[in-house]
Structure 1
Amino acid sequence: MSKMTIKDIDLKDKKVIMRVDFNVPIKDGKITDETRIKAAIPSINYVLEKGAKVILLSHLGRPKGERTPEFSLKPVAERLNEIIDNEVKFVDDTRGEKVDKAVESLKSGEILVLENTRFEKGEKKNDEELSNYWASLADIHVNDAFGTAHRAHASNVGIASVIPSVAGFLMEKEIKFIGGVTENPEKPYAVILGGAKVSDKIGVIKNLMNEANKIFIGGAMMFTFLKALDKKIGSSKFEEDKIDLAKELIKEAKEKNVELILPTDAVVAQKLETGVEKKIVSIDDGIEEGWMGLDIGPKTLELFKNELSNMKTIVWNGPMGVFEIDDFAEGTKQVAQLIADLTDKGTTSIIGGGDSAAAAEKFGLAQKFSHVSTGGGASLEYLEGNELPGIKSIANKKRLGERNFILAGNWKMNKTNTEASAFVNKLVGQIGNENKFEIILGVPYTALDRVADITRSSKIKVAAENMYFEDSGAFTGEISAKMLKDINTEYVILGHSERRNIFKETDEEINKKVKKALSNELKVILCVGELLEEREDGLTLNVVERQIKKGLKGVTKEDMSNVVIAYEPVWAIGTGKVATPKQAQDTHESIRRLISEIYDQDVANSTSILYGGSVKPENIFGLFSKPDIDGGLVGGASLKEDFIELANIMRDIIV
């Protein structure tokens, strides 16, 4: 899958804040179903085994932002302590001094559970201050709560905007199975939908018509479809205002050559109660008034069995009847058994959470399915084809061929020739044969020839830190593009903020340099970025747009294949400050959009955009994993062995 998981990163001695789903039923202080707790243990154990300190976040119930004792996670923490080998600590608060002290004292291999996240009003609002606080407690965020993936809350999306977020094993499995059937299911592919309302499944039905070969309808929602076909449904529940919609869906299924399979008989009764008189009626004969359909009948089960027999993929969401009452549970039970039997024969079977999952558990069949989703609402939205915020916020793996990924160092006015030689020899030995991304060293003029010679047999490229826009002449102290080309320099860094602000280079001068470099077959790293006061005035995009438009004036679409953009917020250069991954991604995304407007989308998609500004091993993971950040222009960390560590981290993110 394209998302990074806990298996893709180094967790040793890291503080990990993990969003889990401990929203379990509790009665009289006792947990009545601990399935969700046990489901989270593999991820927790893995992180602990890798030497991390674990902080667990979860919601429980709907306390509406108030501290409500009945919704405390304390019983959950106590139960977790009983069933896991490691000691589990609990803090009856969500933030503040008690939390800070508990986190500070946490040792590798220990677990800390914080109080119910929904005791915080800002949790469901994705409050920035709350997100920043929770993010400040850890180095890495692990999202293992698929059940909340369709919500942008502080404990999932908010934290992930500040520190890097990866998927736990549960989340990974959900993305693999639910995501897989929405994007590329093995066919023939069938979907079985039940439950009460067509309105709950409109988006699912419409989206699945693009992929599914057959859609089976059961549950109370079948009566809205049957009514649309002018069948007599007696007193069965249906959605009168959705009859026209049902007609449209039936028509659309025919147009898309998707078989829409409806029940041929039903189990009916006059009351929804245990022990009442019930009977089986044919749908063609009709259900008489006073009787209501409460389950699918035996002929329907036989029909479903025949129609499902050759399916390679089956998704089931929604019961076939009122399975909570045994008198009307047979249809749901037999459908579950039918899918389980097909799974044994090699069919991939997925339960889309909610009541279907509860039914499979009730009948002891849940373990026989390929996958039982942990999220009802999240599963439905995912099946609709929606991008879930809790998944979107998880770090992406980079794929070879997407764009040219780059790790560029800018030494500035540092290192003598002797120092440069010793350091570059070490780099060549350790990262000189990198083939997943390009490594570029921007070195002082005095070291260019020597560094170019040392790196000649490696894959490391050499860049000058500046050049002049004339070929030759009375320009004392300047260096021309031809001079650089003559000593095998491949790149030149232009428009660096220090050149702009210390040496007062203008956009016009930088543009002349860019065009001169390109005409001499030098590749260009064009730097852009705003001052602190410009960011505080909300002018970041205005400044960057001006610098790019003026810097690329007269540069052709063909020349753009030799241009790299480096976004470097001036306020983050050499200060130790760094843009959050979200801030950096937002600006990079805007830059890519601007390039598409100046040229076209193909140029925008192929242009590498780097982030520069106090890039170091502690923050490159969160930055580089963002979709529009293609690497880093590194200052201080490029002068020491941190540069090797940066390369190792980038390599792990690329697949």
Structure 2
Amino acid sequence: MEKMTVKDIDFENKKVIMRVDFNVPIKEGKITDETRIKAALPTIKYVLEQNAKVILLSHLGRPKGEKKIEFSLAPVAKRLNELLDNEVLFVDETRGEKVETAVNKLKSGQVLVLENTRFEKGEKKNDAELATYWASLADIHVNDAFGTAHRAHASNVGIAQNIPSVAGFLMEKEIKFLGGVTTNPEKPYAVILGGAKVSDKIGVITNLLEKADKIFIGGAMMFTFLKAQGKEIGSSLYEEDKLDLAKDLLKKAEDNNVELILPIDAVVAQKLEAGLENRVVKMDDGIEKGWMGLDIGPETLKLFEEKLSGVKTVVWNGPMGVFEIEDFEKGTRGVAELIVELTDAGSVSVIGGGDSAAAAEKFGLAKKFSHVSTGGGASLELLEGKELPGVASIATKKKLTEKKFILAGNWKMNKNNSEAAAFVNKLIGKIGNEEKIDVILGVPFTSLEKIADITSGTNIKVSSQNMYFEESGAYTGEISPDMLKDINVTHVILGHSERRDIFGETNEIINKKIKKSLEKELTPIFCVGEHLEEREKGLIFNTIEKQIKEGLNEIEKDEINKIIIAYEPVWAIGTGKVATPAQAQEVHKYIRDLLSEMYGEEVAQKVTLLYGGSVKPSNYFGLFIQKDIDGGLVGGASLKEDFIDLANIMNELIK
């Protein structure tokens, strides 16, 4: 799924809270490597150019939830002020009056750096209160810190549960390259793995055995595999408790027709020190006791070169030897050079962060790869096939499928005929020919025929706000489905909380209405939702389940996709209160999962789910970007030109 980026947002006069990775080495108050600061500049500059106010969050080191001066971001803010042709402000607090005063005084085009997020104990715990506080400081969240994407912290995932989150340029590139090589790599696809332990790479190897064509093993972890094959490895580092696992992985590679390539020689020495005697040993001959393997050998490099020929995608994670010592760097340097040759020939090459990235930098080759990841742990987990919480929390663009995206308005008891006609004529000029979304107007009974006539020939559909379940008879004040069909009404709102609470409609009555509307080929918009006391008592899902199951009683699998379901928390209807995006998504997901249990996942995914409850342009973006929210059932905002703004927001988010 395509994630939203800073390019998709209008930042004009917006407050933006941006998670960056300023975890840089500082010695005696001075930054010794500012690579990460410079890497964040493109995103910061882009947002500033859009006339936004930028608040920066980052961690630095491991202060363990305590305020320690040696881990302050003050030197970073000072250096950032020099790198940006701009005024960069700094507050030595993470929250409180000083922070709020600085944010309120912030001008468009200015940057404010807050103190180290990990001075807060709640940061790593994704504390809801802390996340909500940080979110309250801004309108939009930008996540540009891939290095923390494998962790659900308050400054990345937590904030995104309260306000919309989009990717910065660094994050976008990580998702593009690492996401691409893990989901749809161009074949042949090769992965080169090194490092010390097989246990660190179990998940990666297991996942890649289902995807890669070739897996190359180097580094100290190679000796666990070689030992499993019965080779003599001398005093080389290996994991005795992983020998059986190594055998299993070798067998699985064979069964999956994945070529798992192990070194055929190694550079050995008696100690891990520079300047001592070292020599090359063939693995078939074995390594003597007292000697340890510290790098792959020249014959292995030739073998790797041969096996890498023709590869179109290559991912490298982990050095081939102890590259920090010149005597044992040739294998790692050689592999880096082989990958660069492939890149020059048009292959896609990705370094999965960590020591591999450091090695590429040391050899001056990093810029010659297609992509060098900024996150070691995050890139590893992505290669394992895991969903990273820091990526999952970023807004996903909506994609046109069989499922409809809908913007429905419920006018309730508002607008007479002339007012209704004048307003709808305005709407037709702005959103009368929508193609990406269905626009539905739920108007009073007195205006149904007129509005149906006005909107005929447009893409706007008309809905009744209620309907009785009998076709005719002595039902004073009611209206039948045939009467609605006769005037070209296409939809009907059923089960709204006001019908339940004021007029005493039960789930049984609503069920009868839904059945009759389907029989008469009217599309029901079936409303469900909990009262405040039900939410406070933890009965949200009990209430929703009862309403769904009883409301859809005897509705068959082939009919459920003809029904639109609208979740409207009763406590948010007309009150000005609105569920947070996380709260709304939680219930929508529950409804989707419940429908999966009832009708199967494939069917449930096609059901359109709407959110209603004090929806307006200022909060709709954060709601509609949620995975399981397919549109809105809008009350007060549907009576004004805000309704047009809501349609425009939806169009911007659908690809």
Sort the TM-score into its range (normalised by shorter chain): over 0.9
Per the TM alignment, residue 9 of structure 1 is displaced from its structure 2 partner at its CA by 1.8
Per the TM alignment, residue 509 of structure 1 is displaced from its structure 2 partner at its CA by 1.7
User: 2:323 & 2:52 partners in 1: Cα distance?
Assistant: 44
What amino acid is the match of 2:314? I
Taking the TM superposition and a 5 Å limit, the aligned residue runs for 1:131-210 are: 131-210=131-210
Per the TM alignment, residue 396 of structure 1 is displaced from its structure 2 partner at its CA by 1.3
User: 2:139 & 2:402 partners in 1: Cα distance?
Assistant: 28
What amino acid is the match of 1:615? V
Quote the residue 1:54 is aligned against.
54
What amino acid is the match of 2:2? S
Cα deviations by residue, 1:371-414 (Å, 9 ceiling, x for unpaired)? 00000011111100001111111111111015211110111111
User: 1:194 & 1:556 partners in 2: Cα distance?
Assistant: 54
Quote the residue 1:547 is aligned against.
547
Cα deviations by residue, 1:422-462 (Å, 9 ceiling, x for unpaired)? 11111111111111111111111111111111111111111
Quote the residue 1:327 is aligned against.
327
What amino acid is the match of 2:111? I
User: 2:594 & 2:286 partners in 1: Cα distance?
Assistant: 62
User: 2:648 & 2:85 partners in 1: Cα distance?
Assistant: 33
Taking the TM superposition and a 5 Å limit, the aligned residue runs for 1:217-366 are: 217-366=217-366
Quote the residue 1:111 is aligned against.
111
User: 1:220 & 1:598 partners in 2: Cα distance?
Assistant: 51
Per the TM alignment, residue 65 of structure 1 is displaced from its structure 2 partner at its CA by 0.2
Quote the residue 1:378 is aligned against.
378
Q: Is the 8 A contact 1:192 1:217 kept in 2?
A: yes
What amino acid is the match of 1:284? D
Per the TM alignment, residue 112 of structure 1 is displaced from its structure 2 partner at its CA by 0.6
Quote the residue 2:562 is aligned against.
562
Quote the residue 2:19 is aligned against.
19
What amino acid is the match of 1:163? I
Cα deviations by residue, 1:580-639 (Å, 9 ceiling, x for unpaired)? 111111111111122222222232111111000011111111111111111100001111
Q: Is the 8 A contact 1:148 1:390 kept in 2?
A: yes
Q: Please identify, of 321-330 and 601-610, the stretch whose mean Cα deviation from structure 2 is larger.
A: 601-610
1:579 partnered with 2:579: yes
Q: Secondary structure at the match of 1:108?
A: coil
User: 1:384 & 1:371 partners in 2: Cα distance?
Assistant: 18
Per the TM alignment, residue 89 of structure 1 is displaced from its structure 2 partner at its CA by 0.7
Taking the TM superposition and a 5 Å limit, the aligned residue runs for 1:122-133 are: 122-133=122-133
RMSD of aligned C-alpha atoms? 1.0
Taking the TM superposition and a 5 Å limit, the aligned residue runs for 1:348-427 are: 348-401=348-401, 403-427=403-427
Q: Secondary structure at the match of 1:45?
A: helix
Q: Secondary structure at the match of 2:75?
A: helix
| Gap runs ≥5 in structure 1 | none
Q: Please identify, of 620-629 and 60-69, the stretch whose mean Cα deviation from structure 2 is larger.
A: 620-629
1:482 partnered with 2:482: yes
Per the TM alignment, residue 131 of structure 1 is displaced from its structure 2 partner at its CA by 0.6
What amino acid is the match of 2:7? K
1:436 partnered with 2:463: no
Q: How many residues align?
A: 655
Quote the residue 2:521 is aligned against.
521
Per the TM alignment, residue 558 of structure 1 is displaced from its structure 2 partner at its CA by 2.2
Quote the residue 1:465 is aligned against.
465
1:501 partnered with 2:501: yes
Per the TM alignment, residue 219 of structure 1 is displaced from its structure 2 partner at its CA by 0.6
Per the TM alignment, residue 471 of structure 1 is displaced from its structure 2 partner at its CA by 1.4
Cα deviations by residue, 1:13-35 (Å, 9 ceiling, x for unpaired)? 11111111110111111111111
Q: Is the 8 A contact 1:532 1:570 kept in 2?
A: yes
Q: Secondary structure at the match of 1:502?
A: helix
Q: Secondary structure at the match of 1:95?
A: coil
What amino acid is the match of 2:471? D
Q: TM-score, normalised by structure 2?
A: 0.99
Q: Secondary structure at the match of 1:440?
A: strand
What amino acid is the match of 2:232? K
User: 1:405 & 1:588 partners in 2: Cα distance?
Assistant: 14
Taking structure 1 as reference, are residues 196 and 583 closer, same or farther at Cα in structure 2, changes over 3 Å only?
Answer: same
User: 2:382 & 2:212 partners in 1: Cα distance?
Assistant: 15
Cα deviations by residue, 1:307-364 (Å, 9 ceiling, x for unpaired)? 1121000000000110111111111111111111210110100000000000001111
What amino acid is the match of 2:166? V
What amino acid is the match of 1:571? W
What amino acid is the match of 1:201? K
What amino acid is the match of 1:597? E
Q: Is the 8 A contact 1:57 1:116 kept in 2?
A: yes
User: 2:196 & 2:225 partners in 1: Cα distance?
Assistant: 12
What amino acid is the match of 1:333? R
Per the TM alignment, residue 557 of structure 1 is displaced from its structure 2 partner at its CA by 2.1
Cα deviations by residue, 1:283-324 (Å, 9 ceiling, x for unpaired)? 111111111111111111111111112100000000011011
Q: Is the 8 A contact 1:9 1:652 kept in 2?
A: no
| Gap runs ≥5 in structure 2 | none
User: 1:326 & 1:422 partners in 2: Cα distance?
Assistant: 80
Quote the residue 1:30 is aligned against.
30
Q: TM-score, normalised by structure 1?
A: 0.99
User: 1:231 & 1:559 partners in 2: Cα distance?
Assistant: 64
User: 1:398 & 1:439 partners in 2: Cα distance?
Assistant: 17
What amino acid is the match of 1:368? K
Q: Is the 8 A contact 1:343 1:349 kept in 2?
A: yes
User: 2:328 & 2:442 partners in 1: Cα distance?
Assistant: 73
User: 2:637 & 2:233 partners in 1: Cα distance?
Assistant: 73
User: 1:652 & 1:402 partners in 2: Cα distance?
Assistant: 19
Q: Secondary structure at the match of 1:319?
A: coil
Quote the residue 1:648 is aligned against.
648
Quote the residue 1:588 is aligned against.
588
User: 2:251 & 2:472 partners in 1: Cα distance?
Assistant: 74
Q: Please identify, of 94-103 and 430-439, the stretch whose mean Cα deviation from structure 2 is larger.
A: 430-439
What amino acid is the match of 1:626? Q
Per the TM alignment, residue 139 of structure 1 is displaced from its structure 2 partner at its CA by 0.7
User: 1:111 & 1:565 partners in 2: Cα distance?
Assistant: 43
Q: Please identify, of 129-138 and 619-628, the stretch whose mean Cα deviation from structure 2 is larger.
A: 619-628
Q: Please identify, of 521-530 and 495-504, the stretch whose mean Cα deviation from structure 2 is larger.
A: 495-504
Per the TM alignment, residue 419 of structure 1 is displaced from its structure 2 partner at its CA by 1.3
Quote the residue 2:446 is aligned against.
446
User: 2:312 & 2:489 partners in 1: Cα distance?
Assistant: 56
User: 1:194 & 1:600 partners in 2: Cα distance?
Assistant: 43
User: 2:450 & 2:409 partners in 1: Cα distance?
Assistant: 16
User: 1:510 & 1:300 partners in 2: Cα distance?
Assistant: 72
Q: Secondary structure at the match of 1:56?
A: strand
User: 2:2 & 2:46 partners in 1: Cα distance?
Assistant: 21
User: 1:289 & 1:570 partners in 2: Cα distance?
Assistant: 75
Taking the TM superposition and a 5 Å limit, the aligned residue runs for 1:66-85 are: 66-85=66-85
User: 1:377 & 1:556 partners in 2: Cα distance?
Assistant: 47
Q: Percent identity?
A: 74
Cα deviations by residue, 1:269-295 (Å, 9 ceiling, x for unpaired)? 111111111111111111111111111
User: 2:306 & 2:518 partners in 1: Cα distance?
Assistant: 67
Cα deviations by residue, 1:534-563 (Å, 9 ceiling, x for unpaired)? 111111111111111121122222222221
Quote the residue 1:618 is aligned against.
618
User: 1:606 & 1:271 partners in 2: Cα distance?
Assistant: 63
